[in-house]
Amino acid sequence: MYQARLLITGKVQGVFYRTSCQEVAQRLGLSGWVKNLSDGNVEALVQGEKGEIEKLITWCKKGPPGAVVSNLDVNWETIVKQITSFKIVN
């Protein structure tokens, strides 16, 4: 099991980024969460197999139609608490 924290910047709010990210993550069998930040960016915490996380990262670089991703920061972290589902949080 691996964990990555993603910070997605650009035009990523108001374009169904979180909902689309949740759908892709669930399809890949990943757990974690995704949320909007007050500065207009999106943050996600993802747990699962490394290859599946990397597939989500590839998707996050483009996002859903209407999104314009200008940057994606990825930080691999140690899992402190295992998460069992993938949710949209506030």
* Every domain of the chain and the residues it spans: 2-88
Q: Is 41 annotated as catalytic?
A: no
**String of b and e for 50-69 (b: at least 16 CB within 10 Å)?**
eebbebbbebbeebbeebeb
For 2-88, CATH gives 3.30.70.100
Which pLDDT does position 47 carry in this prediction?
A: 98
Out of 5, 18, 27, 90, pick the active-site residue.
Answer: 18
- For residue 90, name the pLDDT band (cuts at 50, 70, 90): confident
Averaged pLDDT for residues 11-19: 96
pTM of the shown model: 0.95
pLDDT tens digits, 24-72 = 999 999 999 999 999 999 999 999 999 999 999 999 999 999 999 999 9
The yes-or-no answer on residue 90 being catalytic is no
